[in-house]
Structure 1
Amino acid sequence: LLVPIGMIGLTTNITANTSVQMAADPEMRGRVMSLYMMVFAGGTPVGAPIVGWISDTYGARTGFAAGGAISMVAALAVGFMLARVGGLRLKVDLRPGRPHVRFVPREQLATAA
C-alpha cells in the first residue's frame, strides 16, 4: 500500500500547489506561495508534538479526535471569515417543516426582514 499512498499524496500536493499558484495574481504569486507553504509545511513542527503528546498521554483515539477537532475548528473559522469578506450572512430558518441553515447575501437578508 505504500506505493499507491505515496502516489496519491504526491498527486494531492501537486494539485494543491498548482491550484494555489493558478488562482493567485502573477504579481502576488510569491507572497501567496510563501503563506501557503508556511501553513502547509510550517504547521507540522508546531502541531505534531502537541498531538503526539496528547496521543502518548491519553491514547491514540484521543489524539486523532483532538487533531480532527482542531482541523474542524480551523476550517469553520476560515469558512466564516471568507463568508464575511464575501458579504454573506448566516440565515437560520427553524420552521417546523424544513429547518435550513444557509449563507445568503447581506442585501437579500435585509430585504427579507
Structure 2
Amino acid sequence: MVEGSQLQEAQAISVVHKMLQQSFNLFDTAFSAAWDTTLLKQLHTGLLEQLADLDDCWQQVTGEEDSALGRTDPTQPVTSYFQGIHVYLNEKEYSDCAWEIVRMDIRRAFSLFINQLAR
C-alpha cells in the first residue's frame, strides 16, 4: 500500500499526468492556425516525453500496489477544467484570441499547481 507522503506524491504525479495528457489531447485535436506548426510539434514531443517520464516515476512511487489511490480521484478537477476549456473554445469558435487565452490559462494552471507542490 502507498502511505503518507508516498500517497501524496502518487496523487501529485497522477494530477500532473492528467494535466499533461489533457494538454496533449487539446493541442493534438485542434489548434490555432496562427501557431507555428514546428513549435506545435515540439510541444507535442515535449508533452509525450514528460508523460513517459511520469509513467516511470509513477511506477517507482506506487510499485505494483496503487489501490490506495482508488479511494479518491484527485484528477477529477483536472478533467472538469479541460472540459471547460473545450466548451470555451467551441463557444468562441476556436478563434486565435480564444486559443491565446487558453494557452495562457493552461500555463497559469501548471504554474499554480507546481507552486502548491513546492510548499
Q: TM-score, normalised by structure 2?
A: 0.41
Q: Name which one, 1 or 2, has greater alpha-carbon Rg.
A: 1
Q: What TM-score results when the alignment is normalised by the length of structure 1?
A: 0.42
Q: Bigger relative contact order, structure 1 or 2, given CA contacts below 8 A and separation 6+?
A: 2
Which structure shows the higher strand fraction? Answer: 1
